[in-house]
C-alpha cells in the first residue's frame, strides 16, 4: 500500500517546488503583478521529477504568497529519440531508449528529460493606488 | 463606462454582487481583471544551476577535478574512497565532501584514511544541492587538492537531478543490488560518466548478478558510460579505476576535459 503523503521533506520535488516558487515570484515582482493565476511547467519522464508529487508539494510552499491560488499545469513531455544510424525519430519508453525502426541503442534523446517553467498567467495589480477591491462609486 | 456598476474602468473587470461593502448588501463590487500570459522558459532548477556554475568556475580556477559519487546506500562509496586514498598514497591530494542525513561517521573514516573531509548532514533532505556544496567549500583548503570527491546522499533517485558543479558523475552499482538497476533507475544511470560495479569479491556468493547483463541494461537506457568492475576490499579493478582518475585529473589540469559539466538536456538541444 502506498504510504500517506504525511512526510514530504524527503523528496526532491519539494526543493523543485521551492525553486519554481522563487522563479515565479521573481517574474511577478518584475511585472507589478497582484497575483499569479496559472503556472505551466513542462516535465519529461527522464527529468527525475514526479508530476503528482509536484502537484502535492506546490500548494504547501505557495501558501501565503501571490501564487497561493495559482493553478499548476504540468505538461508531460514525450520521450523521443533520434537514431544516429537510420535517422528515424521514435517515441520510446523511458527505460528503453532504442530506435523503434532499426533497434540500435545509438540514439540521441531529443525530448523527455526537460524540466521547464514555460509560462505563467498573471493578474495585474489595479492601476489605481487602491489595493484589491474597488467599491462601486468610489471612482 | 461600465453598465453594471457605473464605474469608469470599462468592461475589463468583473462583479461580485453579493459582497457586502460597509453594510450595503448586494452593492456591486468590481475588481480589475487583466489576466495575461508571461512566457518564461527557464529550467526549474535555475537557481541551483546558477550556483553550480559558480562552483564549477571556482573548481576550474583552483585546478581541482571534482567527482560526484552517487549510488544507493551501502553500495560502497566510502569504501571505494578509502581504497582510492590508500592506493594513491599521497601521489594525488584528495579531499572529500561527505553527504549524509545524519552522523559524521563517513568523514571520520575518510580522515583516518588520510584525506581532508567535510561532512554535510542534510537532516531529512534526500540529496545534496549546489548551495550545500558551496557552503562546505568554505571549510576546505582547496589549494593543495588535486581531486575533490563529493560523496552524495545514498539514493538512486534524487541526487541525479541536482548539478553541484562537478566535472564527472560516477555511479556505483554493487553486485549485491541486482543487475537490472539501470533499467529501474534510468535517470540516475543516464547521468553517469562512469559506472563502477562494486563488491566484485562477492560476485560468486551472490550468484545471479551478471555484469554483462547490467552493461546491456545500461546501453538500453542510452547510457554511454564505460563500466569498471572493482573490489575495494580485494583490490581487483582498482588499477583501472586509478587510471581513469589519473586521465581525468590530467585533462582537468590541461583544461581539456571533454565535456566539463553535467549532460545537456534535450530541451537545451532543441533551443
Question: Is B266 domain-assigned?
Answer: no
Backbone angles phi, psi at B93, to 5 degrees: -90, 125
Question: Is B144 domain-assigned?
Answer: yes
Question: Is B240 domain-assigned?
Answer: yes
Question: Is A84 domain-assigned?
Answer: no
The per-residue pLDDT of chain B, averaged, comes to 87
- CA–CA separation, B143 and B47 (whole Å): 27
Q: Which helix (H) or strand (E) holds A119?
A: strand A115-124
CB B156 within 8 A of CB A48: no
Residue A101: per-residue pLDDT? 95
pLDDT for B49 beyond 80: yes
Tell me, yes or no, whether B23 and B61 share the same domain. no
Instruction: Report the residue of chain B nearest A132, measured CA to CA.
Output: B31
Q: pLDDT digit string (tens) for A89-107?
A: 999 999 899 999 999 988 9
Question: Is B270 domain-assigned?
Answer: no
Residues B5, A116: C-beta atoms closer than 8 Å: no
pLDDT for B7 beyond 90: no
Average pLDDT on B189-204 reads: 96
Q: CA distances (Å), A49 to each of A89, B48, B53, in order? A: 24, 15, 22
**CA Rg value for chain B:** 26
For residue B266, give the nearest of A109, A136, A137 by CB distance. Answer: A109
Higher per-residue confidence, A68 vs A127: A68
pLDDT for B132 beyond 80: yes
Residues A111, B266: C-beta atoms closer than 8 Å: yes
Question: Is B229 domain-assigned?
Answer: yes
Cell numbers given for A102: 532499426
* Helix, strand or coil, per DSSP, at residue B211: helix
Question: Is B269 domain-assigned?
Answer: no
Mutate to test the interface with A, among B192, B265, B268, B271 (most CBs of A within 10 A): B265
Instruction: Report the residue of chain A nearest B17, measured CA to CA.
Output: A136
Range with the lowest mean pLDDT among A2-11, A32-41, B47-56, B73-82?
A: A2-11
Residue B123: per-residue pLDDT? 87
Name residue B42's beta-bridge partners.
A117
- CA–CA separation, B159 and B48 (whole Å): 12
Question: Is A19 domain-assigned?
Answer: yes
Tell me, yes or no, whether B126 and B250 share the same domain. yes
Question: Is B2 domain-assigned?
Answer: yes
Percent of the residues in chain A that have a pLDDT greater than 70, as a whole number:
82
Q: pLDDT digit string (tens) for B30-43?
A: 445 568 999 999 99
Residue A129: per-residue pLDDT? 47
Mutate to test the interface with B, among A38, A39, A73, A105 (most CBs of B within 10 A): A105
Residue B235: per-residue pLDDT? 97
Tell me, yes or no, whether B11 and B62 share the same domain. no
Tell me, yes or no, whether B95 and B176 share the same domain. yes
Residues A136, B30: C-beta atoms closer than 8 Å: yes
Which single residue is written with the C-alpha cell 586509478? B242
Q: Which CATH number covers residue A74? A: 3.30.2320.50
Residues A133, B162: C-beta atoms closer than 8 Å: no
For residue B221, give the nearest of A43, A95, A135 by CB distance. Answer: A95
Q: Considering its fold, how many domains does chain A have in total?
A: 1
Q: Which of residues 2-41 of A touch B (CB under 8 A)?
A: 7, 9-12, 15-16, 19-20, 22-24, 27, 31, 37, 41
- CA–CA separation, B195 and B45 (whole Å): 25
- CA–CA separation, A42 and B246 (whole Å): 40
Tell me, yes or no, whether B166 and B143 share the same domain. yes
- CA–CA separation, B136 and B145 (whole Å): 15
Tell me, yes or no, whether B6 and B90 share the same domain. no
CA dihedral A116, B124, B58, B137 (to 10 degrees): 170
Instruction: Report the residue of chain B nearest A120, measured CA to CA.
Output: B38
Backbone angles phi, psi at B240, to 5 degrees: -65, -40
Domain that holds residue B4: 1-36
pLDDT for B85 beyond 60: yes
Residues A19, B46: C-beta atoms closer than 8 Å: yes
The per-residue pLDDT of chain A, averaged, comes to 85
Residue B16: per-residue pLDDT? 45
Reported confidence tier of residue B19, pLDDT bands at 50, 70, 90 = very low
Q: Which CATH number covers residue B215? A: 3.40.50.300
Query: C-alpha angle with apex A119: A79 to A7, nearest 5 degrees?
Result: 70
Average pLDDT on B89-107 reads: 95
Tell me, yes or no, whether B10 and B89 share the same domain. no
Q: Considering its fold, how many domains does chain B have in total?
A: 2
Question: Is A89 domain-assigned?
Answer: no
Tell me, yes or no, whether B55 and B165 share the same domain. yes
Question: Is A49 domain-assigned?
Answer: yes
Question: Is B147 domain-assigned?
Answer: yes
Residue A139: per-residue pLDDT? 45
- Four-residue CA torsion sign, B106, B110, B112, B113: positive
Domain that holds residue A68: 12-78+112-124
Tell me, yes or no, whether B199 and B251 share the same domain. yes
Question: Is A101 domain-assigned?
Answer: no
Percent of the residues in chain B that have a pLDDT greater than 70, as a whole number:
83
For residue A118, give the nearest of B41, B124, B158 by CB distance. Answer: B41
Higher per-residue confidence, B11 vs B232: B232
Query: What value of ipTM does the predicted structure carry?
Result: 0.75
Which single residue is written with the C-alpha cell 548478478? B209
Residue B256: per-residue pLDDT? 79
Amino acid at each position: 500500500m502506498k504510504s500517506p503523503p504525511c512526510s514530504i521533506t524527503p523528496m526532491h520535488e519539494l526543493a523543485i517546488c521551492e525553486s519554481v516558487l522563487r522563479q515565479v515570484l521573481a517574474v511577478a515582482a518584475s511585472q507589478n503583478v497582484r497575483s499569479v493565476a496559472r503556472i505551466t511547467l513542462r516535465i519529461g519522464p527522464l527529468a527525475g521529477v514526479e508530476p503528482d508529487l509536484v502537484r502535492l508539494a506546490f500548494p504547501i510552499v505557495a501558501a501565503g504568497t501571490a501564487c497561493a491560488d495559482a493553478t499548476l499545469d504540468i505538461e508531460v513531455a514525450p520521450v523521443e529519440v533520434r537514431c544516429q544510424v537510420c535517422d528515424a525519430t521514435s517515441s520510446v519508453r523511458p527505460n528503453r531508449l532504442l530506435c523503434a525502426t532499426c533497434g540500435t541503442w545509438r540514439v540521441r534523446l531529443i525530448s523527455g528529460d526537460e524540466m521547464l517553467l514555460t509560462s505563467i498567467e498573471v493578474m495585474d495589480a489595479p492601476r489605481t493606488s487602491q489595493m484589491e477591491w474597488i467599491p462601486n462609486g468610489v471612482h | 463606462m461600465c453598465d453594471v456598476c457605473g464605474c469608469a474602468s470599462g468592461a475589463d473587470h468583473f462583479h461580485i454582487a453579493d459582497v457586502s461593502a460597509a453594510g450595503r448588501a448586494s452593492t456591486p463590487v468590481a475588481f480589475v481583471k487583466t489576466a495575461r500570459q508571461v512566457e518564461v522558459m527557464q529550467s526549474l532548477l535555475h537557481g541551483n544551476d546558477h550556483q553550480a556554475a559558480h562552483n564549477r568556475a571556482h573548481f576550474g580556477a583552483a585546478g581541482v577535478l571534482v567527482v560526484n559519487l552517487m549510488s544507493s546506500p551501502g553500495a560502497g562509496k566510502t569504501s571505494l574512497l578509502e581504497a582510492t586514498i590508500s592506493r594513491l598514497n599521497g601521489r594525488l591530494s584528495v579531499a572529500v565532501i561527505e553527504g549524509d542525513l545524519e552522523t559524521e561517521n563517513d568523514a571520520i573514516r575518510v580522515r583516518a584514511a588520510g584525506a581532508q573531509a567535510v561532512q554535510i548532514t542534510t537532516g531529512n533532505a534526500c540529496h545534496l544541492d549546489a548551495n550545500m556544496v558551496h557552503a562546505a567549500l568554505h571549510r576546505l583548503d582547496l589549494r593543495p587538492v588535486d581531486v575533490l570527491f563529493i560523496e552524495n546522499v545514498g539514493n538512486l533517485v534524487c541526487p541525479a537531478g541536482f548539478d553541484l558543479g562537478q566535472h564527472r558523475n560516477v555511479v556505483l552499482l554493487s553486485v549485491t543490488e541486482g543487475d537490472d538497476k539501470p533499467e529501474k533507475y534510468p535517470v540516475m544511470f543516464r547521468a553517469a560518466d562512469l559506472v563502477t560495479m562494486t563488491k566484485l569479491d562477492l560476485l560468486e556468493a551472490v550468484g545471479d548478478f551478471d555484469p554483462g547483463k547490467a552493461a546491456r541494461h545500461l546501453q538500453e537506457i542510452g547510457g554511454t558510460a564505460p563500466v569498471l568492475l572493482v573490489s575495494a576490499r580485494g583490490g581487483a579493478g582498482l588499477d583501472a579505476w586509478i587510471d581513469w582518475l589519473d586521465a581525468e585529473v590530467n585533462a582537468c589540469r590541461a583544461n581539456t576535459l571533454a565535456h566539463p559539466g553535467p549532460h545537456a538536456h534535450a530541451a537545451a538541444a532543441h533551443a
